[in-house]
């Protein structure tokens, strides 16, 4: 029997409603399928469920490559009704077990398991640890012809069977089944099954079966950002770095693989959640993003932009603040010289640091820390005034940074305070000889905002792009390692981005930075580096082939034993802010000029 429902164009034009405007002209109804417009559709009802379900148990259906509308109708079951039905169910199971025992029959293992599960659910329900819901799961399959529809339904049945789901066609109720899977919030079939909170939560579609699920008893997670989609299954990869054992991440890829694009997407999505972000940007790739979100930019190397490395944090009242500043100055001088000074020069430097602060009226007393800090040239002058020949030698070696070619960055007090929800430290205008020093000064200024005496309530994300600039320097690498170790206790996370796998993995400090990153992201790799990367991250042959042939933005997310492939996705607005393609940027600039 067939029934044809025709739309009325006159009525559509008269009412003008959205529903009438988008509705198909005709719907032909048969017992087993519908003809909707120029296509065919059939609705399947899930009638059988497995005894236990794992995370993302709907993934085989959600990732089916054809057109499939999946509707999950959920209705909470009132607690008194749930308790009453559960008592009835337990009584029925117990009476069945007792009857078998009285007849001398062996216990039915399925009945025993059901009775045990019902008792466990009743206990959790009484404690308020779980609730019951009436759930209906319906699938509408679409195809262009009737033959294709039959094949598609068979494929969907096979996908459902892979997760032990039993499905049946909505025979003689296809019209009600089709409307049930439309976004109308109406269940016309009412083929319901009772589920508890855990089983229903595992059906949440924004999850991936390749990533770990929360264990029973773990607190609920509400954070995380979209990393992309899984190319193999089309599932969504949603990751929360702030719930891992530490908040650090490492992003390793060859040039042009999309690592900066991916990190900018993560920054933008963390900003949505109130995370404070600081970026060390060697190539001005983050300026468009900073301008769009109202961030601040510190352009090191531009005329008039000065950084005084002897500044003391004004809001830090700890008694060892001056000592810690002195230790950083030892690190800075080692980076300026390219190596650690010999013992005699280090001793002279330590005396000079204390003397120059004392001459400025600054002591260990925090009340004196608001006074103007001395400059690097004052430190060099104090070294020259020392009678020790080692001090004079060190002062002479510091001359290019005090009164020579590299003095412009340090020859005046700090001119710009790095404040805001997004601070970008631009290094592009620094000469190559000052890039490492500029990176270290930016990280030091960032660390002073992170290392506050009070435990910060706001999360902070520190991004170091092109980290090989620091990793090739021993003192700079040690500074980065110390930050990666201490960030978690200060509610901060460090993201290290580099395209030079040899500099990162070829040293003990570089490997220590990798091991202290709970989130590891590998994008496309160069053939020359794949062996070192594969050994360091324990990659399989298939994962190595994936990273050698990955498209831009495709890669591998690794966290301990858990790993999944993903591909970055973005909205048009996000893409405009994150892309570095010169052609696309020129087109965007032309549109902005027209406006």
Tens of each residue's pLDDT in the chain, 595 residues: 566 665 544 444 444 555 566 667 788 899 999 998 888 999 999 998 887 777 778 878 887 878 899 999 998 888 777 777 777 777 777 777 777 677 767 666 766 666 667 777 777 777 776 788 889 999 999 999 999 999 999 999 998 988 889 999 999 999 999 999 998 889 999 998 888 887 888 777 655 555 555 544 555 556 788 999 888 767 788 899 998 889 999 999 988 889 999 999 999 999 999 999 999 998 889 999 999 999 999 999 888 888 899 998 877 778 888 898 999 999 999 988 888 899 999 999 999 999 999 999 998 888 888 899 999 999 999 999 999 999 999 999 998 888 877 888 888 898 888 888 999 999 889 888 888 888 888 888 888 888 876 655 689 999 998 887 777 766 677 888 888 888 888 889 999 998 877 767 777 778 888 888 999 999 999 888 898 888 888 888 888 888 998 999 999 999 887 888 899 999 999 999 998 877 777 765 555 555 4
Which residues are CB-contacts of 507 (< 8 A; sequence separation ≥ 6)? 471, 477
Write down the pLDDT at residue 215.
47
> Which residues lie below 8 Å from residue 437, measured CB to CB, with a gap of 6+?
332, 335, 336, 409
Which residue's entry shows tokens 């855990």? 198
pLDDT of residue 480: 83
Nearby residues of 366 by Cβ (< 8 Å), 6 or more positions away: 316, 317, 318, 319, 321
Neighbours of 70 (CB within 10 A): 16
Write the CB contacts of 276 (distance below 8 Å, at least 6 apart in sequence). Answer: 421, 422, 458, 459, 460, 461
β-partners of residue 460 are: 276, 492
Angle, alpha carbons 302-307-310 (nearest 5°): 165
Cβ atoms within 10 Å, residue 483 = 24
Instruction: Give the pLDDT score at 593.
Output: 53
What pLDDT does 218 receive?
Answer: 53
- Nearest alpha-carbon partner for 51 in 110, 137, 139, 125: 110
Contact 345, 391 (CB under 8 A): yes
- Cα angle 367, 373, 379; round to 5: 130
Assessment of whether the complete model's pTM goes beyond 0.75: no
DSSP string, 132-179: EEEEEEEEEEEESSHHHHHHHHHHHHHHHHTTT-EEEE-TT-HHHHHH
Distance between CA atoms of residues 53 and 44, nearest Å? 20
Question: On the CB side of 503, how many CA atoms lie within 13 Å of its CA?
Answer: 19
pLDDT at residue 540 in the model: 85
The neighbour count for residue 526, using CB atoms within 10 Å, is 16
Nearest to 187 by CA among 338, 73, 53, 316: 73
- Alpha carbon distance 135, 74 (integer Å): 5
pLDDT of 130 reads 76
Provide the angle, in degrees to the nearest 10, between the axes of the packed helices 432-450 and 474-486.
Answer: 20
């Amino acid at each position: 029997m067939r029934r044809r429902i025709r739309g009325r164009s006159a009525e559509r034009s008269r009412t003008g409603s959205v529903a009438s405007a988008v509705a198909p002209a005709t719907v032909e109804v048969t017992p087993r399928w519908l003809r909707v417009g120029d296509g065919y559709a059939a609705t399947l009802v899930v009638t059988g469920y497995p005894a236990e379900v794992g995370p993302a148990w709907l993934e085989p259906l959600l990732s089916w490559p054809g057109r499939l509308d999946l509707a999950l109708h959920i209705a909470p079951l009132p607690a008194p009704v749930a308790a009453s039905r559960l008592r009835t169910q337990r009584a029925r199971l117990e009476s069945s077990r007792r009857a078998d025992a009285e007849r001398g029959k062996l216990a039915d293992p399925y009945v025993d398991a059901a009775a045990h599960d019902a008792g466990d659910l009743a206990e959790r329900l009484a404690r308020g640890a779980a609730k019951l819901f009436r759930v209906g799961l319906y699938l509408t399959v679409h195809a262009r012809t009737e033959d294709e529809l039959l094949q598609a339904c068979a494929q969907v049945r096979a996908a459902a069977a892979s997760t032990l789901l039993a499905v049946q066609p909505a025979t003689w109720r296809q019209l009600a089944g089709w409307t049930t899977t439309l976004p109308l919030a109406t269940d016309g079939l009412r083929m319901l099954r009772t589920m508890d909170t855990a089983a229903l939560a595992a059906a949440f579609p924004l999850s991936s079966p390749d990533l770990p699920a929360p264990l029973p008893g773990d607190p609920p997670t509400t954070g995380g950002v979209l990393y992309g989609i899984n190319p193999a299954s089309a599932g969504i990869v949603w990751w929360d770095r702030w719930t891992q054992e530490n908040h650090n991440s490492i992003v390793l890829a060859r040039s042009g693989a999309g690592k900066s694009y991916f990190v900018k997407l993560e920054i933008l999505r963390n900003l949505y959640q109130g995370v404070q972000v600081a970026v060390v940007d060697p190539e001005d790739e983050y300026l468009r993003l900073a301008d769009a979100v109202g961030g601040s930019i510190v352009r090191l190397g531009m005329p008039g932009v000065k950084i005084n490395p002897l500044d003391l944090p004004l809001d830090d009242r700890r008694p060892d603040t001056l000592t810690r500043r002195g230790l950083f100055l030892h690190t800075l001088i080692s980076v300026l010289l390219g190596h650690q000074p010999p013992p005699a020069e280090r001793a002279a430097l330590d005396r000079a640091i204390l003397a120059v602060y004392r001459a400025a009226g600054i002591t260990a007393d925090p009340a004196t820390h608001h006074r103007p800090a001395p400059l690097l040239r004052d430190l060099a002058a104090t070294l020259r005034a020392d009678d020790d020949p080692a001090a004079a030698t060190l002062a002479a070696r510091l001359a290019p940074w005090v009164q020579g070619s590299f003095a412009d960055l340090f020859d005046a007090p700090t001119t710009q305070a790095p404040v805001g929800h997004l601070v970008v430290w631009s290094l592009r205008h620094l000469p190559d000889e000052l890039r490492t020093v500029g990176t270290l000064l930016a990280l030091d200024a960032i660390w002073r905002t992170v290392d506050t005496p009070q435990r910060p309530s706001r999360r902070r994300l520190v991004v170091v792009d092109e980290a090989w600039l620091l990793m090739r320097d021993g003192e700079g690498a040690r500074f980065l390692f110390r930050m990666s170790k201490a960030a978690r206790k200060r509610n901060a996370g460090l993201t290290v981005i580099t395209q030079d796998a040899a500099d990162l993995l070829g040293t003990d400090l570089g490997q220590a930075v990798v091991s202290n990153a709970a989130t590891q992201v590998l994008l496309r790799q160069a053939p020359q580096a794949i062996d070192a990367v594969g050994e360091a991250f324990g990659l399989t042959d298939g994962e190595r082939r994936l990273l050698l042939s990955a498209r831009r933005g495709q890669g591998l997310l690794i966290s301990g034993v858990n790993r999944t492939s993903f591909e970055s996705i973005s909205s048009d607005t996000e893409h405009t802010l994150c892309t570095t393609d010169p052609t696309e940027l020129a087109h965007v600039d032309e549109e902005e000029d027209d406006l």
